[in-house]
Amino acid sequence: MSRSQSSQALEAAERLCQERGERLTPIRKRVLELVLGWDGPVKAYDLLEALNPEAGTAKPPTVYRALDFLMGLGLVHKVEALNAFVGCTHSHDEGGAELFICSDCGTVEERHGSATPTNAPEGFKIDRSVIEHFGHCRNCTH
């Protein structure tokens, strides 16, 4: 993610927290910065490592709590198939993201598709959808 996108997302996060009466504490902000600045999806334990030279004593719950918080605000998405996390620059109120993940360069594109699939079982009420496409992005198919 580019620097400008990243800082925009940070500002958006500040605003979002203000609106909702949530606190973007230093740890949370730092984790968000790291996720946004990371090249591709990032593992929780890599975040932990990145966090530690500065924070010193961060342990798994620290980073998982921050990630949970950020996911709650929709600022970070989890890539379930990778056990990894990606930053999100979209302003999406509701609804899940549809992720396109390049297996070569690791970049993740996010789209917001139609919430309801055409072929759901009758009467099935969807709460949350996980949609992750793995393949090769435009740059990597050349």
Gap between the Cα atoms of 40 and 114, Å rounded: 25
Report in angstroms how near the CB of residue 139 gets to its own copies at its nearest: 8
Q: Is 138 in the site for its own copies (CB under 8 A)?
A: yes
Q: Which does 23 bind (CB under 5 to 8 A by kind): DNA, its own copies, none?
A: DNA
Q: Is 16 in the site for DNA (CB under 7 A)?
A: no
CB 47 within 8 A of CB 63: yes
Q: Is 135 in the site for its own copies (CB under 8 A)?
A: yes
Report in angstroms how near the CB of residue 18 gets to DNA at its nearest: 13
Strand 98-102 versus strand 108-111 pairing type:
antiparallel
Residues 6+ apart with CB under 8 A from 141: none
Report in angstroms how near the CB of residue 53 gets to DNA at its nearest: 14
In 3D space, the residue among 89, 64, 98, 79 whose CA is nearest the CA of residue 13 turns out to be: 89
Q: What is the DSSP letter of 121?
A: P
The 10 Å CB-count burial string (b at 16+, else e) for 44-59 is: beebbebbeeeeeebe
Residues in 25-64 at the binding interface with DNA, rule: CB under 7 A: 25-28, 43-46, 55, 57-62, 64
Gap between the Cα atoms of 62 and 87, Å rounded: 18
Residues in 71-130 at the binding interface with its own copies, rule: CB under 8 A: 80-81, 98, 100, 102-103, 109, 111-114, 117-130
Judged by CB under 7 A, how many residues of this single chain contact DNA?
23
Closer residue to its own copies in complex, CB, 14/80 = 80
List residues binding its own copies (CB under 8 A): 80-81, 98, 100, 102-103, 109, 111-114, 117-138, 141
